[in-house]
Amino acid sequence: MSVRVRFAPSPTGYVHIGSLRTALYDYLYAKKHDGKYVLRIEDTDRTRLVEDALDNLMEAVDWAGVMHDEGPVKNESGEMVQLGEKGPYIQSERLHIYRPYVDQLVEAGHAYYCFCSKDRLDALREENKAKGIFSGYDGHCRDLPLEDAKKRVEAGESYVVRLKLPTDKEIVIDDMVRGRVVMNTNDSDDQVLLKADGFPTYHMAVIVDDHLMGITHIIRGEEWLPSTPKHIVLYEMLGWEIPKYAHLPNILNSEKKKLSKRHGDVSVADFRKKGYLPEALVNFLALVGWSPEGDQEIMSMDEMIEKFSFDRVSKSGGVFDVQKLNWMNNHYIKEADLDRLTEMAVPYAVESGYLTEDAVEGHKEWLGRIVDLSREYLEYMAQIPKHIELFIGEEVKLEDDQAKEMVEMEHVPAMLEVLKAQLDAAEDFDAASVKKAFKATQKESGVKGKNLFMCTRVALTGQVHGPDLMEIISILGRETAKKRVDFTLQNLCK
């Protein structure tokens, strides 16, 4: 059997990182088994659609490198097209497909017309709530003779079509994550399959689409587990092969509650905006709920494909540990191509006011040197402005009392005068020539070690610790470095 999986989001807003993880597990499983990964857009709930949500989804999966084999894609001209032979892959373009299957279920006695008004259903819900009992539909129209129901339909009476769920039937689910799960149909009610506006509900459309698209494995969040008995019953009623299921654990926040927007960043766009690298976010998300054999955590996509197995996916929710994500992203930043990181740094440099749009091209090398020097300390690229700040201006601001003590040491003024002269005489003013200036300063002033290097760092940057001092001075440039020495001598030394 050829593996076919699908990711079927609704275009109702931002792409949640939980959705990206589901898409990722779909992708990893399909690729491991030489199968196909399908993207299907479930947009039949027209009241919740968000403009440009589909475009945002396309951007998110493309950015993350979790691209599907079939479904909607943007072509080179930026137009939305659909790849694959089992489309359309946008549900609103498939509306003509569902009604025959609804009618088939009605004729076979597996579904029925329901004429209950909204007022009656609301009253029933309130009555059940007051009694503290299951608030599902009470089957009021369940046993209406089919011919009588058809006459009412032909007369123009408003109706929906409901599933006639078997009573007290045990449904066994052999879940790839949770193992054997047993549920009873008495815990569900007669689900609406066709709404009054003629649109299928999710529960009807998803079964038809998955069958017609040949989906063999359904990978989705655990919130869909209660709906699975109804889906399995529908497969049986229609005489179709039931796919395998994998219900994934929720992604939790630090308080072990389901991650939601009120807890901070939860969308792919949030992390992209902050300057996380996609390969870091994908690597991290893979491990929120899945633990491969061994202790390897940093993995390429190919390595994750090779190692992935639902046997190693946890039944309990995985905690979204931002500190671990930041550690992982820092690892990828340290390994990343410098030109790529520099391009990523540009918008933050402009937004912070350290560069203008017009000045970007002329300062790419300068910015790249700062990025390279700072990458060891960056958790995500939006932090780059505080590192650029170190190289802006001719004044020095001391960061703390320790810095103040260092720059007020007795030997500092004379040492700085010698250093300034040596910097002025340096030839190329790269890190190597700056290092020579320090050796000459040490020889002439007699100051060495911490008293030379740490005091100079404070005099030029205001900081006791930081990146390589020779590189800092080289990036500052001869004139700025000399002016900072003068500022310190005049304002900060005793």
Those residues whose C-beta lies under 8 Å from the C-beta of residue 154, and which sit 6 or more positions away, are none
**171 against 54, higher pLDDT:** 171
pLDDT band at residue 300, thresholds of 50, 70 and 90? very high
Point out the least confidently predicted range of 13-22, 342-351, 480-489: 13-22
Q: What are phi and psi of 321, to 5 degrees?
A: -95, 100
pLDDT tens for 122-177 read 888 888 888 877 668 989 999 999 999 999 999 999 999 999 999 999 999 999 99
C-alpha closest to that of 31 among 360, 426, 318, 302: 302
Considering the domain architecture, whether residues 139 and 198 belong to the same structural domain is answered as: yes
- Taking only the tens place, the pLDDT of each residue in 208-261 is 999 999 999 999 999 999 999 999 999 999 999 999 999 999 998 888 888 776
Q: What is the mean pLDDT of residues 444-462?
A: 94
Q: Is residue 326 part of a domain?
A: no
Sign of CA dihedral 119, 124, 130, 133: negative
Burial of 206 (0-12, 13-18, 19+ CB in 10 A): buried
CA atoms within a 13 Å half-sphere pointing along the CA-CB vector of 29 = 30
Q: Is residue 328 part of a domain?
A: no
What 3-state DSSP class applies to 344? helix
Instruction: Considering the candidates 74, 129, 257, 261, report the single residue annotated as catalytic.
Output: 261
pLDDT at 105: 98
What pLDDT, on a 0 to 100 scale, did the predictor assign at position 263?
58
Query: Whole-angstrom Cα distance, residue 441 to residue 343?
Result: 38
- Residue at 117 is within a domain: yes
Q: Residues 176, 207: one domain?
A: yes
Burial of 375 (0-12, 13-18, 19+ CB in 10 A): buried
The more confidently predicted of residues 129 and 86 is 86
Q: Is there a single domain that holds both residue 243 and residue 256?
A: no
**Given 391, 422, 455, which residue is the final one in a domain?**
391
- Other CB atoms within a 10 A radius of the CB of residue 391 amount to 18
**Omega of the bond leading into 88 within 30 degrees of 0 (cis):** yes
Task: Note whether 411 and 384 are same-domain residues.
Answer: no
Please, what is the angle between helix 95-107 and helix 228-238, to 10°? 80
Residue 49 has pLDDT above 80, yes or no: no
Is the per-residue pLDDT at 334 higher than 90?
Answer: yes
Q: Which domain holds residue 110?
A: 94-248
Give residue 28's pLDDT.
Answer: 98
State whether 366 and 405 are in the same domain: no
User: In 3D, which of 47, 61, 163 has the Cα closest to residue 108?
Assistant: 163
Q: Furthest-apart CA pair in the chain: how many Å? A: 108
Residue 370 counted as domain residue: yes
Are 212 and 295 part of one and the same domain? no
Answer yes or no: do 182 and 120 share one domain: yes
Residue listed under structure tokens 């190597």: 432
- Give all strands (DSSP E) within 87-216, no chain letters: 111-114, 160-163, 170-175, 179-184, 192-194
Confidence class of residue 56 from pLDDT cuts 50, 70 and 90?
Answer: confident
- Concatenating the DSSP letter of every residue in 30-48 gives HHHTT-EEEE-B----GGG
Known catalytic membership, residue 261? yes
Is the domain of 122 the same as that of 219?
yes
Structural contact between residues 412 and 493, judged by C-beta atoms closer than 8 angstroms: yes
pLDDT of amino acid 157: 96
- What pLDDT is recorded for position 405? 93
| Model confidence, pTM | 0.91
Report the pLDDT averaged over residues 415-430.
92
Burial class (CB in 10 A: 0-12, 13-18, 19+), 20: buried
Residue 103 shares a structural domain with residue 161 = yes
Which residues have CB under 8 Å from 364's CB, separation 6+? 342
